[in-house]
Structure 1
């Protein structure tokens, strides 16, 4: 039995617009006009790492992923992603890697019967831990809207190994492997994938290459606010206090988030808090209760926390706790 949870699934004869919650921000998928359009988007969370599955006759989507890095491995068809850093295209045997950013994505079947791809969303914390394990320091390139990379398995042994590892993990999740059902095994997989990504980035030499940086005040304010939110999400009282730390007015910070991420500082903080809570609930060595985790992460209303958590992760906090701390 597959561990993947389907969040979008439809088939029809007309162009459709549907919402996907695969990434941090809900994103609108616009299906291409064909005699029959279809799509299925599924996901599985391993704690800091989300493995997705996308099967589509072709669609466009504007992605806002401001929390984590993204790795996309196409199994069939073609994917094109355009961001501030430029346009990247990938097909079978290749992969696309992005630091947190906004991008426009188009997928098509190409010469295949359908597009099928495996998107991985991996937190910056996991990337930082991987660099530490390998005795490296996290480069400044791994920050908002700075890195957009096409990786070719035929030109890089490390990339080929990464793609094969992703495909293997996808297959394990899809068939409901007992190894994926075990929390300790999941943690090993998460570390292994993160290490493979860093290894591939190192081999391509991209970490030493010039990357895109925006010097606009809006981008600086957003980066500073997100960094502060990640470090102090449990103590932040309100958005004006975040704006004060960033040295801008509340209105200016709200406009910056709208222009850069098409969201609000409040929604960004909520996602950061939810991700932080899930990370702790998935830690078998953390003995805190759901209530203690919620309060530590900045949630003062437990019912609202449970509702927001369930909307994002499709399960209650207590269910996450029960799975990951089961002996």
Structure 2
């Protein structure tokens, strides 16, 4: 019988235990509910099966910590509807995907494509942090980066070198999301602007940091925006501080793709467009709070400038101005 979510687990994402079990059939069924139907077999009996699966899901992505405790063979066939980045935290696994056999350990992760079959063998000490991203979401982000429809599905190289600069960065991004979720700083699934941005950032990280069949398209699209495009973007941001605008909204108004927009903001302001938007909202709220006449409440200043979470507003406000919004000048 799977243990309930209030019981203690080990590993990452401890605040989000899905199940623990020593029963092979139960493990297969529970894991399948979050990923896909698959074949699961224990290899040998020298270790006792002790499966732990921690799981937190957003709208289009999920973060997972998975450990079987014994040598197992996993055959999911086609994933069909999602991509799967598997980052080993300990131990090793053998992964066969796209006709390539990869020995995955602390230095090598694997990235599985939806339309290619996979077979895996996990050694008993193998523990993995797993990022699952829906196929439709990744396709949409890829098209926003390229600025045009893609000729077909995105297919990544299976092997992810965690010793390379891109691999190190990719691992840090995923681990940082897991750590922020564990701390309660990030709430995947809330549907607010922060977690939706994180889902886009995770997909963009895969697309820009791991080689794929569209890397050449993204490289060609990576040109700087014109001054007019940046001006349109900045004007749109300041005119819509209270609105739930997205990175795609800003890029569309500016008439450039997302990656070009981001490059331009980095070059001109040393910020991403969404960091610029956050700072503009904070500056507007700060001005309203220090004005003596018709002074708004902290809640009014936050919500009136596009913040949906008072705790994050207070945290960001203090980082920018050195005091909490409740400690503003009067």
TM-score range, shorter chain: 0.5 to 0.7
The answer to whether 1:79 aligns with 2:93 is yes
Matching of residue 53 in structure 1 with residue 62 in structure 2:
no
* Deviation, structure 1 residue 23: 5.0
Task: Output one character per residue of 1:196-238: Cα deviation in whole Å (capped at 9) or x when no partner.
Answer: 111112xx466469xxxxxxxxxxxxxxxxxxxxxxxxxxxxx
Change beyond 3 A, Cα 1:22–1:15: closer
Instruction: Extract unaligned runs of 5+ from structure 1.
Output: 210-283, 286-324
Please state whether the residue corresponding to 1:65 is helix, strand or coil. Answer: coil
Shift of 1:3: 4.7
1:105 lines up with 2:120 in the alignment = yes
**Aligned in 2, Cα 1:185/1:96: closer, same or farther, shift over 3 Å?**
same
2:191 corresponds to 1:177: no
Tell me, in whole angstroms, the C-alpha distance in 1 between the residues paired with 2:64 and 2:27: 19
Counterpart of 2:82 in structure 1 is: 68
1:192 match: 201
The answer to whether the aligner puts 1:89 opposite 2:89 as a matched pair is no
> CA–CA distance in 2 between the matches of 1:71 and 1:35?
26
Q: What's the CA shift for 1:192?
A: 1.0
Q: Quick one: distance in 1 between partners of 2:162 and 2:105? A: 11
Instruction: Return the TM-score normalized by structure 2.
Output: 0.52
CA 154–46 in structure 1, closer or farther in 2 if over 3 Å, else same: same
Alignment partners' CA distance in 2, 1:50 and 1:11: 24
Give me the whole-angstrom Cα distance separating, in 2, the residues matched to 1:15 and 1:27: 11
Q: Distance in 1 between matches of 2:166 and 2:117?
A: 27
Larger radius of gyration: 2
The residue matched to 2:28 in structure 1 has which SS?
Answer: strand
Q: Distance in 2 between matches of 1:25 and 1:138?
A: 28
Q: Distance in 1 between matches of 2:47 and 2:153?
A: 41
Cross-structure match for 1:119: 130
Instruction: State TM-score, norm by structure 1.
Output: 0.53
Q: Does 1:166 align with 2:177?
A: no
Distance in 2 between residues matched to 1:166 and 1:44, nearest whole Å: 13
Between Structure 1 and Structure 2, the one with more strand by share is 1
Q: Give the drift of 1:178.
A: 5.0
